[in-house]
Amino acid sequence: MVKVVEETTKQTRTKETKDYNNLAMEVKELRDENIMLNKRIEALEEKLERFLAVSK
């Protein structure tokens, strides 16, 4: 009985670790994507500012 509980606990911890690692990877990917999108937004804002300056 103790052996079964130990194995079940080990499997649960392994699954929780995998779940945690998957979530951590997803967070990292989303942060990287966010950084890239922010840089793209900045570049577009600069382009818009230059366009508006020329239009005046």
| Percent over 90 (pLDDT), the chain | 71
pLDDT over 80 (residue 4): no
Q: What mean pLDDT value characterizes the chain?
A: 93
pLDDT at site 56: 75
- Residue 25 tokens read as 């990877």
pLDDT at site 45: 99
Say what the pTM is.
Answer: 0.70
Q: Look up residue 29 and give its amino acid.
A: E
- Residue 30 tokens read as 């989303």
Tell me if residue 56 falls in helix, strand or coil. coil
How many CA within 13 A on the CB side of residue 41? Answer: 6
pLDDT tens per residue across span 35-54 = 999 999 999 999 999 999 99
Q: Look up residue 34 and give its amino acid.
A: N
